[in-house]
Structure 1
Amino acid sequence: MATVRDVLENVREDDFIEYFLFSLDPAVDFQELLAKVSELAEQQSQGYIWQKDDFKLIHRNASDFPPINDNQENLPPHLYGVTHYGENIEDEWFVVYLLIYLTKNVPGLVARVVDSDGEFILIEAADHLPSWANPDICEKRVYIFRGDVHVVPPSKDKDDSNITVAEALGKIRTSSQTTRASDSIQVSIDRRVKGYPDKIQELIHQTNAFVPAGVAALLRAKPSLIAPAVVAFCHRDPIDVRACRAMRYFPPETRVMCQVKMTRCLYAMLLHHKYQPDRRTGWHLPPQNSPDYTAHLIGVKLACGFEILVSQCKSKDGADDLENDKGWHRYRQSLLDKGYFKDLLEGCKEHQRLEKDAKEYYRNHAMYSQPTTGQAVLDLLNSLEVDVEGMRRDGGSLPPPDDDSWMEITSDELDKILTERYGSRPNPNSSVNDISAHLQTFLNHVSGLDGVEHPKLNKDGVPLRPKRGVKKNKNADTSTSNATCDDDNNRISMDQEAFSCGVNNILDFSVPEDSWDLESEESGMSSYEDEIEMDLSRKKSGSWAIIMNFGFEVSPIGKACRRTALASVAHIQLIHATAGMSRQQ
């Protein structure tokens, strides 16, 4: 039977990557190993700005996490870490790079890494997997050893589809040549992490911002604070908006021009989040055609982000620091949904014990908490001496901001990216009609439990139609046929030609470009509109933009919504085109 830790470990956000570092040396000192690994990882990640969590490891013994039930494995002692990457998928692959580097430079170190999709490394190399590989069998079989990906194959002599981590480590120790994945898999993973650590600077965007002097001092002392500030602003809710109207800690009167650097993903998020500051707070923006407009607007958003962080930190009276932690409240709600509290009355002794255990686990293993970040920001701000006049003098000789044309790509550039990522098409002259023909052929295939069964080919290369089963009661009398007439009338038939025609209509459907999706930022109802926008964003997280895995935005929400509406029109066309899917008369 599962214990409470089963629930505590499995309730988490989807944007995480989890990593385990084992040692093949049974006499290893894990405290020394932790110090060595942490030092190497810090050297490789110099200058890297993490979206949420950085690369962090702790030592876990088997006694810390005992088996939940008789069928669950007791993991060997290891180093453990979890990183939430938010909107920036590049963080996930940078962790993979670090694990590859560490296993190359630390003898006997074996790494296992998973995310919400499981063994995601194999997803990247899906075109090169062995025939036996499927998500169920591959679980706990994928590791990184000496910088290479290892996939432990199942034994041919016995059924070991469910392998333990200890057994997999034993096979890697004794027969690493057998467990090493194919060269094509190695190339796929190496291509994904290629360029690090030099690539870190390519992902950085520098721009100028007109920010309060306190914000400039914080970013000068600790540049990595830019990430939690941007995330806090982009994920703000109506309560956070009210804190932005007060601006208690970062008033606009002390604004100075300074240079800030952030990842391209953070810059795209910050630039495309609509926000109209309240003039009563003291924000006065230049006209939109002014060359300083972008710097002023970015400065307002950054100031609001830092204000939100500080407003969420714990109060001075020693109250529980989790009460203002939104992450904790989401985590607690997930525990409620999982039945962790067993419908106990809130406030009873058993309920208090369970909540205490949950808080302890969250503090020790969440590794990310905005109130903790907010308190660190406030403590650092109080320790800094802010020279406003000196900052204003320095602001007059700043270099120009980086070009942000990388946020817009042409169709040719997109084709180039897709070709580099997935390779060129086998037949560049293929047309929509070819797609329709292939689809119509696909519809004629038989579907089984494991998916579509592709027909066998005869000696001339022509697909053979699969044999159908002999119909029962084929020679039944007429009265029986009449009795089943009503059942025949209820059968559904599909007009394949009409369906193919509908697909053609969708493929031919083009979305007109327009410029009427730009909304004015001069509305007097901006504060109310912002609160409504925040309420909607809570209902559907991540709808603000489509961000590709290399970290920049493709389409803002306005145009994306309208294109979705236009695509719905195409869907209606498909419904009309498939009118042949009707009851036989």
Structure 2
Amino acid sequence: MDIKYEDTVQCLFFKPSRENINWDELCQTLNATANSLSKEYIWHRDEFKICQPLITSEDSIPPHLVSTTCFGDNIEDEWFIAYLVFKLTEVHKGLIVQIEDNDGDFLLIEAADFLPTWANPETTRNRVFIYNNHVHIIPPTLVELKTPLEITDALKLIVDHPRETKASIQIENAIHEKIGAYPDRIKALCHTATVSLPVDIAALLKLRPALISHLVFIYNNHIHIIPPTLVELKTPLEITDALKLIVDHPRETKASTQIENAIHEKIGAYPDRIKALCHTATVSLPVDIAALLKLRPALISHLVNTYCNHDVIDAKKCKTLKLDNCIDVSVKFTKFQYAMLLHAKPPNSFGRKNTSSQNKKTEIGYKLSFGFQLIMNQSKKDKFSSPEYNKYLNNLKKNNYFNGNIEGSKVYNQLLEKAQEYFIETESPVISYIYENIAQHMASSEYKALKESLPQNNHLYLCEEESDNWLNVSPDELDDLLNQNYKKQVRSDDLIKPSIVTSGLSKFLSQRSDYEGIEVNEDGHKETAHIQFNSDQFFTSLQQMLDVVTLNDSDEDCSDFSETEPQDDYIAVQQQLEQELASKICGDNRTDLKDDACILSNLVNSMKEEGLSGPTSNIFKSIGIKKSEILDSDDDEIE
């Protein structure tokens, strides 16, 4: 897959079957399942939605459904989508899904420590799929790596060889570690706040709470990997061939347990994790915005993002913004959105006020109203007269989407209407789509009734405000977070002793490197290469050569020196210089340059004189020690 947008995850849904498949019905069924699993989740940018592609750019790709979701700055959405995909393949048997983002197979990145040696971004193309809640990887034993693997063949391999393609337990555990906390995690990701909003906005949000995502945005279970045993790594693998391989070889393509564990470590907490990702706050909002967020809570994302991404020109359009007819309501955010909105600078028109809790809910309400106003101001023009739509329509014509029908004919207009619906949902500027969404909700009778009842019954929509102390992270919590996510080799509370540094450097320098650099496995040694190299003999020969050169240079120097002064005087001067140099290098009376403490002291002094970066800090980085850790530990006495 070639993903043309940043921060975007794309899924292709295949259903290899000898029977005819009703793709419209399958699309509706999959969306219904996904909606039931994500009903409590607040999307940061786009909602996860599966649809049929209008046209298929590649003939080699078999019939399929597609979802393209922009997760923006919140990567939590990407892992929740991964959780949904695993669940969809578990509920709907025979469904095979290929999921990628801008980095490619991001599930394998999470399980990188457990991948087979042949797997890399170039060799896993069209070899990694999710099938029957497992990761499947088509190995080179089924298709050689040199052989281009079509996605049709890959799907057949997955189905025919499920055992060979199933990923290892380690891979699946690594993935499920990221997604295993869902759906319980959804609640933890949200935050409800009391906000002062105009009545019409409050009614709209009460009617459609999901609209909060759009308002925020505009403002600011097993894996299958196709191995080279099925298709050679050097062979470009088309997605048609890959799908066939998955279907035909589900056993061979199934990823290892380690790979699946690594992936499920990220997604295993869902759906329980959803609750932990949310925060509810009391916000003062105009009634119209409050009603809108109650009606469509997901719109909070677009309000937050719109505010946090506005520029000076946008600010001028809303400089006369006034909040009238405000009420206090509880609004659910994701913790990411709440933190982003809370720390965004208030508009100049808001003024500087105290930081009390009363002012906090007013300030948040002002920012949300600001984002709402930006959406309504910028989206009044015709969406089908934009440059984006004209480019989209021209591409359809170039790809013969209208099948030669005359413009204005009945069939042409039907195809055009379908294309326009697709454009509004997937291709149009985000702010235009949000405006249409909001306008539809605000025109509904449900919204109007909610807007009228909110001022008298707003207490029904108030719940106990949650503490936002989670915004404050202690140094120990930060260390634990870094260790958990990045697996630091040296903890910040560890004393970096000279022996640690010298042993680490010695171990690094003793490694053997190929053109891709030093690769360390679990035992800390590179796997045995095919080419045998006697390093001891090489270094002995090199040392002998250097000794000869040194002796020759020394003889020449001494010969030249003896013409003017006695050789004994030269040796005495040389010894004096060596002693002086040793004392300056080490900084004290110790002159043993092989001493660990002396070596560390010299390296620290070198690092201090580097500035931002230099050779010494790069050497330390290679053994897992950061510059800041060394300089901080230097404050203590080196033992």
Normalising by structure 1, what TM-score?
A: 0.66
- Secondary structure in structure 2 of the residue aligned to 1:258: strand
The aligned residue for residue 373 of structure 1 is 434
Contact 2:14 2:64 in 1 (8 A): yes
Q: 1:197 to 1:445 in 2, by over 3 A?
A: closer
The aligned residue for residue 448 of structure 1 is 514
Distance in 2 between the 1:464 and 1:572 partners?
Answer: 28
- Equivalent residue letter for 1:290: S
Identify which of 143, 147, 151 aligns with 1:165.
151
Q: Deviations over 1:48-103 (max 9, x none)?
A: 11111111112248xx2243xxxxx6101111111000011010011111110010
Distance in 1 between the 2:606 and 2:46 partners?
Answer: 42
1:244 aligns with 2:318: yes
The aligned residue for residue 260 of structure 2 is none
Q: 1:255 to 1:465 in 2, by over 3 A?
A: farther
- Secondary structure in structure 1 of the residue aligned to 2:357: coil
Distance in 2 between the 1:499 and 1:381 partners?
Answer: 71
Distance in 1 between the 2:186 and 2:57 partners?
Answer: 39
- Secondary structure in structure 2 of the residue aligned to 1:451: coil
1:36 aligns with 2:107: no
Contact 1:41 1:98 in 2 (8 A): yes
The aligned residue for residue 496 of structure 2 is 431
Contact 1:209 1:299 in 2 (8 A): yes
The aligned residue for residue 105 of structure 2 is 119
Distance in 2 between the 1:364 and 1:289 partners?
Answer: 40
- Equivalent residue letter for 1:369: V
- Residue 322 of structure 1 and its aligned partner are, at CA, apart by 3.3
The aligned residue for residue 51 of structure 1 is 44
- Equivalent residue letter for 1:80: V
**Structure 2 matches for 1:272-283, cutoff 5 A?**
272-278=343-349, 283=350
- Secondary structure in structure 2 of the residue aligned to 1:169: helix
Distance in 1 between the 2:328 and 2:341 partners?
Answer: 17
Identify which of 302, 312, 329 aligns with 2:368.
302
- Equivalent residue letter for 2:319: R
Distance in 2 between the 1:110 and 1:466 partners?
Answer: 54
1:177 aligns with 2:163: yes
1:221 aligns with 2:282: no
Q: 1:426 to 1:254 in 2, by over 3 A?
A: closer
Contact 1:213 1:386 in 2 (8 A): no
Distance in 1 between the 2:434 and 2:116 partners?
Answer: 45
Distance in 1 between the 2:610 and 2:379 partners?
Answer: 44
Q: 1:470 to 1:432 in 2, by over 3 A?
A: closer
1:271 aligns with 2:335: no
- Residue 150 of structure 1 and its aligned partner are, at CA, apart by 0.8
- Equivalent residue letter for 1:85: F
- Residue 366 of structure 1 and its aligned partner are, at CA, apart by 3.1
Distance in 2 between the 1:203 and 1:46 partners?
Answer: 14
1:311 aligns with 2:377: yes
- Equivalent residue letter for 2:15: S
**Structure 2 matches for 1:12-31, cutoff 5 A?**
12-27=4-19, 28-31=21-24
- Secondary structure in structure 2 of the residue aligned to 1:137: coil
Q: 1:307 to 1:24 in 2, by over 3 A?
A: same
Q: 1:215 to 1:453 in 2, by over 3 A?
A: closer
Q: Which runs of 5+ in 2 are unaligned?
A: 192-279, 396-418, 529-533, 554-584, 586-592, 621-639
Q: 1:81 to 1:445 in 2, by over 3 A?
A: same
What is the CA RMSD across the aligned residues, in angstroms? Answer: 4.3
Q: Deviations over 1:98-157 (max 9, x none)?
A: 110010111110111000000110000111111211111112111111101111111378
- Equivalent residue letter for 1:236: H
Identify which of 439, 457, 463 aligns with 1:399.
463
Q: Deviations over 1:218-243 (max 9, x none)?
A: 11211111111101111111221112
Q: 1:373 to 1:22 in 2, by over 3 A?
A: same
Q: Deviations over 1:421-463 (max 9, x none)?
A: 56696999673642464246535656532213788899xxxx9
The aligned residue for residue 256 of structure 1 is 327
- Equivalent residue letter for 2:18: P
The aligned residue for residue 448 of structure 2 is 385
The aligned residue for residue 305 of structure 2 is 231
Contact 1:321 1:371 in 2 (8 A): no
Q: Deviations over 1:311-348 (max 9, x none)?
A: 12132xx464536x8xx89x99xx9xxxxxxxxxxxxx
Distance in 2 between the 1:22 and 1:402 partners?
Answer: 43
**Identity across matched positions, percent:** 28
The aligned residue for residue 627 of structure 2 is none
Identify which of 113, 125, 129 aligns with 1:143.
129
Distance in 2 between the 1:449 and 1:302 partners?
Answer: 53
Distance in 2 between the 1:220 and 1:391 partners?
Answer: 10
Q: Deviations over 1:173-216 (max 9, x none)?
A: 11100100011111111111012122211111110111222211
Q: Which runs of 5+ in 1 are unaligned?
A: 1-8, 68-72, 336-357, 483-494, 510-566, 579-585
The aligned residue for residue 628 of structure 2 is none
Would you say how many aligned residue pairs link Structure 1 and Structure 2? 445
1:197 aligns with 2:151: no
Distance in 1 between the 2:145 and 2:482 partners?
Answer: 40
Contact 1:113 1:143 in 2 (8 A): yes
Contact 1:49 1:262 in 2 (8 A): yes
The aligned residue for residue 555 of structure 1 is none
- Equivalent residue letter for 1:255: C
- Residue 387 of structure 1 and its aligned partner are, at CA, apart by 7.5
Contact 2:318 2:373 in 1 (8 A): yes
Distance in 2 between the 1:191 and 1:469 partners?
Answer: 49
Contact 1:141 1:151 in 2 (8 A): yes
Q: 1:360 to 1:40 in 2, by over 3 A?
A: closer
Contact 2:89 2:133 in 1 (8 A): yes
The aligned residue for residue 572 of structure 2 is none
Distance in 1 between the 2:12 and 2:615 partners?
Answer: 50
1:99 aligns with 2:85: yes
Contact 2:303 2:372 in 1 (8 A): yes
- Residue 47 of structure 1 and its aligned partner are, at CA, apart by 1.8
Q: 1:100 to 1:388 in 2, by over 3 A?
A: closer
- Secondary structure in structure 2 of the residue aligned to 1:140: coil
Contact 1:214 1:386 in 2 (8 A): no
Distance in 2 between the 1:364 and 1:169 partners?
Answer: 29
The aligned residue for residue 340 of structure 1 is none
**Structure 2 matches for 1:317-396, cutoff 5 A?**
318=382, 320=384, 322=386, 365-366=426-427, 369-383=430-444, 384-385=447-448, 391-395=454-458
Q: 1:502 to 1:457 in 2, by over 3 A?
A: farther
1:467 aligns with 2:533: no
- Secondary structure in structure 2 of the residue aligned to 1:143: strand
Distance in 2 between the 1:310 and 1:137 partners?
Answer: 48
The aligned residue for residue 413 of structure 1 is 477
- Residue 170 of structure 1 and its aligned partner are, at CA, apart by 1.2
- Secondary structure in structure 1 of the residue aligned to 2:67: strand
- Secondary structure in structure 2 of the residue aligned to 1:178: strand
Q: 1:154 to 1:47 in 2, by over 3 A?
A: same
- Equivalent residue letter for 1:406: W
- Equivalent residue letter for 2:16: L
Contact 1:17 1:116 in 2 (8 A): yes
